[in-house]
Structure formats: C-alpha cells, structure tokens
Amino acid sequence: MKCVTALLASLLLLTSCSAPPEAASSLGAAQKSNGAAVQAAVTSEEEVRALYAADTNSYRAVQSVTPYEGDFLVCLGDNGYPTRFDWVYGATGIRRPLAFDYEGVVQVEILDTASIQALTDGVSTINGYRSFPHWVYADLSGLYDGTGQTGTDYDPYAWPPTAYTEPYWAAVTEPHSFGMFGRREAVSFAQVECSGFALSFAPLADGSDFSSAFCAPPGTDIAYDALSRTLTVTCRDTFLDSGELDPAMAEAGYTAEWLQENNSLYPEDFPSGSLAGSCPLVESAAIAQVGNDAVVTLVLMATDDPLFYTVEEGYQGPADTGPYFRLKLRAGSW
C-alpha cells in the first residue's frame, strides 16, 4: 500500500510540473516564428514605451506613440540620427521598422495598418542643412500579416524596402527657405525653363567662403506677393559679379582667360535684367543685385487655378564648383 501511495504522489508531482502537449507545441511555434524571444501583446502607450526601454540595442529615444486600431505608430529620433518610424502590432508586440528619413518631420498621417505618409521639414538631423521639404510614404501591408508575422524568424532591426519619397508641392503663397546660409557664392547661370526656372552657382573669384566639402546652393528665401502676382527668390550673400582673381593667383601668372580655357566655372559676371527662356506660367522674369543678394523676380500668369511650386537641388561639378537649384511651377490640384 505504501508503494502505491508513493507512486501516485510521484505521478501527481510530474503532472504538476509539465505543460500540456498542446501548450508546449504552441510555445515552440511562437519561438520559431518570432525569433529567439516570445513577444507579448501590448495594449497601451506605456507598454510600448516599456518595450523600447527594455531594448538595449535601441539608440533613439521614443518621441511619440500613436495608437491605431489596436496597433501603434512609434516615432523615434535623437540629434545626429535620422528620424525613424516603427509599426508595433498590438496583438503580438512585434515591432517592424517602417521608414526613416534624415530630416525632421512636421506632419504624419496613418493611411491604414502599417501604412503612413509623412512630410519633412527639410532640416537635416545630421548637420542642420536646410533643403526643400518632401513626402515620405511607407507601407508594410504586403509583407506581414495583421500581427506582424511572416512565418520566418522575427528580426526587429530588418529593413524591408517599403519606403519611397515624392516632392512636396507648396502653394505659391507658402514661404520657404533652403540652402547653405552664411556662405558667399556667385551666379554662373540663370534661365527660365518650361517648368519654372534654374539657377547655378560658382565660387567667387577669390575662392572665399566656398567650402569644397559640401556642395549646396546659397541660402535662399522664397516669398509671394498676391497683389502683383510676383514670386521673389532671394539668394543671400550671392553676387552676379564674382569679383577679381586672388592676388596670389594673378602673381603666379593665372588669368581669367586661362581658367576658362581649362574648364573652370569662374570667374563669372552674369548680367542683370530679364532672363532668357519661357514658361507657360511665367509672364516675365528678371534677376538683379540687391545689396549682397541676388534676387530673381517672377511675375506669374493670371489664372483661376491654384499655383504650386517645388525645388530640386543638385550639382554639375567638378567637385563643389557647380551647385544649382531648379524651381518648378504647376497649376491646379492633383
């Protein structure tokens, strides 16, 4: 009788310490699909923040948590790092990188589950350089199910190719600034084009204030006067006349003619007055030197349609000798 009692006690002890076969099987499946650690459901902003706080590999601070139909959009960012968006699936706690951008963000809209559009402010989070804003679009819906799983190992740092950018079209009444402020440059070319107008730049003849480490147009302000239909583009510390050659270069025998024959983009002396070219939305265009600034004035055509503009930047080279920007115009809403 004592032997039977001991045997029953042993069986009860083993039963209490063992998980049911179904539970063990489910646990193994979760580990396989989600990676090394089983994810837990999250239901609040506090739990989402705790999820990131416990991640020793995360190097960006959580800036905001936005709930959406049981899931969460998380914005992360720190000075010196790109702005990043993650999508956290509430049912599993799985977080998926959604998009990142090297500029600050002023507007974010959730379009659907794991799908967003964001508007940048144009200011680099790395070095503070100001470019023209753009849209960022990202969508994970075609990559994961409603819980963020794919049936493969879970990697919270994997970056799927889901994001793309598009230009931001600002209303002509919306002022903007962009470019490298505090640096002196010279205008090397200006022309009206079918879509707007373009300006390119070169160093001053003495080479002052023109860093070859960063190719960018000068600091530029855009403003519109509705009464006169005039769009004014002011390039700060920018000159139509690039000035005289550096005395040391002149003493060494270099001349402006020699430099131009050897494909130098400077010195330049761009004439003030009306700009060549035509655009269906531009009635007239002119460039002038106003103090230390080069100013382009565009008188826009009268139209009942709303007018919009965007700016694209680039450089012609070689090195840092040909930054340019192109201002594009369009009429009507898309």
Confidence of residue 191 (pLDDT cuts 50, 70, 90): very high
Confidence (pTM): 0.79
Least confident range from 41-45, 261-265, 282-286: namely: 261-265
Query: For position 163, what pLDDT does the model report?
Result: 84
What is the reported pLDDT for 8?
35
**Other Cβ atoms closer than 10 A to 271:** 11
Residue whose entry in the numeric block shows the structure tokens 């506090």: 46
Q: Where are the domains of the chain?
A: 38-168, 176-331
CB atoms near residue 136 (< 10 Å): 22
Residue 200 has pLDDT above 70, yes or no: yes
Longest dimension (CA), the chain: 117
Given a cut of 80, whether residue 24 has pLDDT beyond it is no
Give the tens place of pLDDT for each residue, 73-99: 999 987 778 889 999 999 999 999 999
Task: Output the six-digit token pair for 28.
Answer: 């193994």
231: helix, strand or coil: strand
How far is Cα 89 from Cα 109, in angstroms, rounded to an integer?
17
